[in-house]
Amino acid sequence: MKVMGLTGGIGMGKTTVAHLLRRAGFPVFDSDATVHRLQGAGGAAVLPIGKLIPAALVKNAEGELSLDRQELRKAVMAHPELIGQLEKIIHPLVFAARDRFYRRCRRRGADWVVIDVPLLFETGGDRQCDKVVVVSAPRRTQIARIARRRGMTPAEAQRMIARQMPDHEKRRRADVVIRTGLSMADTRREVRALIREMRA
């Protein structure tokens, strides 16, 4: 079974490309969704992070505890040292979930699987990939997308970007770069070419 790592900076279009690959039949592991699950009701990260950032802890109608991600984001923006502590709790749990995904896919006899990981290079995940694909768009497009979708201020977006490996360095390390700054039709065409290469 071969592993394709899909990465790129915040708002570069990873989720969009992952969706196209999933539609083409490839199993995809979504790290951001895994983080969200771990932080949601009953998730393994709720109590350890709640201890670190009590303001983010919320109780739902059923009395279950979960984390309010907007509060988490506010807390890490106000106290940047917290993000490292958050990562120390979350990353091992994400790695364990990814390993379970690999085992499931291997049992099913998958040829290729995709792992969608924003911090692939930063966490050394690229070393276990047979192919690394980086999605990339011009900085202006990236900032505009983040602002539109999440209501993050440009300053907050800049801070998240500053924690990530620079785009040009990611592109340098990539086996394949998918440009997402053009039209969706262009992105789809590049993804189709990638799929042909994987199936060859």
Ligand X SMILES: Nc1ncnc2c1ncn2[C@@H]1O[C@H](COP(=O)(O)OP(=O)(O)OP(=O)(O)O)[C@@H](O)[C@H]1O
Ligand Y SMILES: CC(C)(COP(=O)(O)OP(=O)(O)OC[C@H]1O[C@@H](n2cnc3c(N)ncnc32)[C@H](O)[C@@H]1O)[C@@H](O)C(=O)NCCC(=O)NCCS
**Which segment (21-29, 70-78, 98-106, 127-135) binds ligand Y by CB under 6 A?**
70-78
Torsion angle, CA of 90/92/97/99, rounded to 10 degrees?
160
94 forms part of the interface with ligand Y (CB under 6 A): yes
Q: Which does 16 bind (CB under 5 to 8 A by kind): ligand Y, ligand X, none?
A: ligand X
Task: Select from 65, 97, 110, 119 the one that contacts ligand Y (CB under 6 A).
Answer: 119
DSSP 55: G
Q: How many CA atoms lie within 13 A of 144 on its CB side?
A: 6
Helix axis angle for 81-107 and 69-78, nearest 10°, is: 140
**Which segment (86-94, 97-105, 136-144, 167-175) binds ligand Y by CB under 6 A?**
86-94
- Written as six digits, the tokens of 64 are 């279950």
| 13 assigned ligand-binding residue | yes
Helix axis angle for 69-78 and 154-162, nearest 10°, is: 80
**Which segment (80-88, 137-145, 169-177, 178-186) binds ligand Y by CB under 6 A?**
80-88
Site pattern 107..126 for ligand X (x: CB under 6 A) = -----------x--------
- Written as six digits, the tokens of 67 are 């984390």
Enumerate binding residues for ligand X (CB under 6 A). Answer: 8, 10-16, 32, 118, 145, 149, 180, 182-184, 186-187
